[in-house]
C-alpha cells in the first residue's frame, strides 16, 4: 500500500517518524503539503501520531488514478462551502442560536433530517427574500482548495455535482459560478417577498441524497467504483455509501467512522493527492 500524508505544516522529523512506523521503503513529494510513502503497512500508532501532529493520513492502493473516476458528488454546507448557509440566514432573522443547535444535532445524527429541516425552516418565517441574496453576497465562502479541486477534476472530464439538504437558492448560483454539471437541493416557499417557513415538495435528506447519486451515476453509465462522494455529517452517510470512495471532510465522527478517507486538516484540494 501507499500511505499519503498531508498537512498545512509538515516537519521532516514527523515524516520520518511516520515512515518508520509504516515501514515505508521511500518517501515521494507530491506537493509542499502532501507526501506519498511507498510500500507502507498499517501500524496501530499511526493514527494517534497523526492526530497529535495535525496530519491527515490515508492508505491507498498504488496505481489508482484520478482519471479512473467519472463523477464527484459534494455536500454543500461545511463541505463545498465553509459556512452553514441556513445558520447564516437565521442570523439575519435573530434566530441563529436556535437554528445552529438543530443543525449540529442533525449532523451528529441525533435528529431525522426531514424533521430538522422542517423545524429550522419554520424559524425563518417572515424573513424577507432579499436576506438570501445578502447571505450569498456577504457571507458565502468556498472551502479552502475547492476551486483547485474542481478545476483539476473538470480538466480530466469528471462530472461535478453538489447534492445538498440546503436550498436551491444557493446551489443554483454555486452551480453557475463553479461550472458544476448538477445541483440538487430543497426549495424554500416564498410568498409576497417573504419566507413562509415551509419547504416545497419532498425534502432531500440522507436517503434522497443516496438515491439521487445512484440515479445520476446510472444515467452516466458509471459503476459505483467510479464515483467519489464528499461530505461532513450524518446526512451524507447514504451519499457516501453510493460511491466507491467516500471522503469525510472536516466531518463529524459518525461520518468519519464510515468513510474511505478522512481529511481533517487540509483543504478540498487534498482529495487530488489521494490519487496518482
CA 271 to CA 209: how far, in whole Å?
21
Q: Are 11 and 18 in contact (CB under 8 A)?
A: no
Angle between helices 85-92 and 96-107 (to 10 degrees): 160
Q: Dig out the grid coordinates for 64 from the structure.
A: 489508482
The reply to whether 181 belongs to the active site is no
Q: Are 235 and 248 in contact (CB under 8 A)?
A: no
Q: Are 226 and 71 in contact (CB under 8 A)?
A: yes
- The CA-atom distances, in angstroms, between 87 and each of 77, 98, 114, 216 are 10, 9, 16, 29
Spell out the residues 6+ positions from residue 65 whose beta carbon is closer than 8 angstroms to its own.
275, 276
Catalytic annotation, pick one of 77, 87, 232, 269: 77
Spell out the residues 6+ positions from residue 245 whose beta carbon is closer than 8 angstroms to its own.
69, 227, 228, 229, 260, 261, 274
The reply to whether 269 belongs to the active site is no
Helix (H) or strand (E) holding 175: helix 168-178
Q: Are 145 and 34 in contact (CB under 8 A)?
A: no
CA 86 to CA 213: how far, in whole Å?
23
Catalytic annotation, pick one of 56, 75, 87, 269: 75
Torsion of CA 4, 149, 142, 169, to 10 degrees: -130
Q: What is the end-to-end Cα distance of the chain in Å, rounded?
A: 13
What are the residue numbers of the active site?
75, 77
Amino acid at each position: 500500500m501507499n500511505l499519503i500524508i498531508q498537512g498545512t505544516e509538515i516537519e521532516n522529523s514527523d515524516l520520518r517518524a511516520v515512515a518508520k512506523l509504516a515501514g515505508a521503503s521511500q518517501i515521494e513529494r507530491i506537493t509542499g503539503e502532501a507526501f506519498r510513502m511507498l510500500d507502507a503497512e498499517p501500524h496501530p500508532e499511526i493514527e494517534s501520531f497523526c492526530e497529535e501532529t495535525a496530519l491527515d493520513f490515508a492508505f491507498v492502493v498504488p496505481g489508482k488514478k484520478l482519471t479512473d473516476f467519472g463523477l464527484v458528488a459534494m455536500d454543500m454546507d461545511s463541505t463545498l462551502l465553509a459556512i452553514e448557509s441556513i445558520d447564516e440566514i437565521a442570523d439575519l432573522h435573530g434566530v441563529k442560536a436556535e437554528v445552529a443547535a438543530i443543525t449540529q444535532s442533525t449532523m451528529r445524527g441525533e435528529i431525522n433530517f426531514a424533521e430538522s429541516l422542517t423545524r429550522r425552516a419554520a424559524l425563518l418565517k417572515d424573513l424577507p427574500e432579499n436576506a438570501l441574496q445578502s447571505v450569498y453576497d456577504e457571507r458565502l465562502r468556498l472551502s479552502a482548495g475547492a476551486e483547485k479541486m474542481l478545476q483539476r477534476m473538470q480538466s480530466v472530464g469528471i462530472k461535478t455535482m453538489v447534492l445538498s439538504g440546503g436550498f436551491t437558492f444557493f446551489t443554483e448560483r454555486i452551480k453557475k459560478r463553479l461550472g458544476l454539471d448538477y445541483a440538487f437541493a430543497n426549495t424554500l416557499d416564498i410568498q409576497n417577498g417573504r419566507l413562509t417557513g415551509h419547504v416545497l415538495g419532498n425534502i432531500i435528506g440522507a436517503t434522497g441524497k443516496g438515491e439521487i447519486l445512484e440515479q445520476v451515476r446510472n444515467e452516466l453509465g458509471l459503476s459505483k467504483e467510479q464515483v467519489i462522494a464528499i461530505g461532513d455529517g450524518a446526512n451524507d452517510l447514504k451519499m457516501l455509501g453510493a460511491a466507491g470512495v467516500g471522503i469525510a471532510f472536516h466531518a463529524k465522527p459518525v461520518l468519519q467512522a464510515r468513510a474511505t478517507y478522512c481529511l481533517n486538516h487540509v483543504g478540498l484540494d487534498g482529495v487530488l493527492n489521494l490519487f496518482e
